[in-house]
Structure 1
């Protein structure tokens, strides 16, 4: 491999700053995490979007969250013979090995992946429809939910509603995993659906009884 390069200087400076401050002040905690292993209480499935900072939102320390990020915070359905195993493997490890108590799906405003799915559903994104588009094939997970928002005329509101549907779709798909369904039924794990407004700092949770999102 001849294409890998050294880190850019600004990241090197930030690393040395962290090592001299945060790490130096908490060496015992980091070493304890290294020797005793991780015992996170919750797994968070969030979007890859750089504006979604899970640990900052909840003020979490190292070792608290087991985090998985992907395009549009989606969970595929249980497909042991399928090809989309990255997210599924992470969920399996969190539930069966780490025994997390909470499984959280976190969606967000202005999600590019969700907008791409809207464009696909409207026939406005031929590049995503191409068989070789990894993003397009991933967003196929969400396409069945588009009928629920197809009549919303305002594009911004349609996107916001579809972002929430991405969270609901993931919660529904989580329950297709036998080990997740069993853990939910015996009370050893609870599922949570959240949506955050990046600009306003708002946070909403999904209420299944009313099938709607409410402010936290």
Structure 2
């Protein structure tokens, strides 16, 4: 099990090796960032997008949350971490692509399908329940079609990507950039078990990446 002291030891290795070997890169990054891609991924510890996509620091702007979800545009109530990051990426960094990446064995999807936290208070699962209720409509449709078995789990994992992309288009600055050809929205799903990335096409269909 990794604990904080292990992380500090890892930092020491990074300082001696990774940072030292790419000191010029870090010096450039200290002047600012200009990533071309934003990735919205799950917080799951097994699906680090920098590792999956084999990127270096400064190459992707990343937001991670439970079940890689994007809420629809709204101005009232609560905090808007995903919305703020999206706004910064699209309007300030001028990213050219936003990628939503789901993954296999997603705990958020499992919680949605099982209604595990449906009656929980905040601090006991209530925050999770309120977040994943973004999937309620999709979940109900999938359960009606597939039940609640493995097929339903996989279907809802893919649907998290489609739901998030649909919600991205509720933000006017995203729609405007996309319409102007300045922004492309993309979807992907990563299989932890197989180590395979599936990419979504314009019709919403997923296929393994070449």
Q: TM-score, normalised by structure 1?
A: 0.90
Structure 1 residue ranges, 4+ long, deviating more than 4 angstroms after superposition: none
> Per-residue deviation at 1:10?
1.7
Which residues of structure 2 form unaligned runs of 5+? Answer: none
CA–CA distance in 1 between the matches of 2:161 and 2:5? 38
Q: Tell me, yes or no, if structure 1 residue 152 matches structure 2 residue 142.
A: no
**1:61-80 to 2 correspondences below 5 Å:** 61-80=56-75
Query: Where do residues 7-156 of structure 1 align in structure 2 (5 Å cutoff)?
Result: 8-35=4-31, 37-120=32-115, 125=116, 127-132=117-122, 133-150=126-143, 151-153=145-147, 155-156=149-150
CA distance in structure 1 between the aligned counterparts of 2:85 and 2:95, rounded to whole angstroms: 12
Say which of 142, 150, 163 aligns to 1:169. Answer: 163
- Tell me the TM-score normalized by structure 2: 0.92
Aligned equivalent of 2:200: 206
Deviations 1:39-74 (A, max 9, x none): 001000000000002111111011000000000000
Distance 1:72 1:84 in 2: 18
Does the C-alpha gap of structure 1 residues 100 and 85 become closer, same or farther in structure 2, counting only changes over 3 Å? same
- Distance, in Å, in 2 between the alignment partners of 1:82 and 1:154 is 32
Unaligned stretches of 5+ residues in structure 1: 1-6
Q: CA RMSD in A?
A: 1.4
**CA 1:207/1:84 → structure 2, altered by over 3 Å: closer, same or farther?**
farther
Matching of residue 197 in structure 1 with residue 191 in structure 2: yes
Output the CA distance in 1 between the equivalents of 2:152 and 2:190.
16
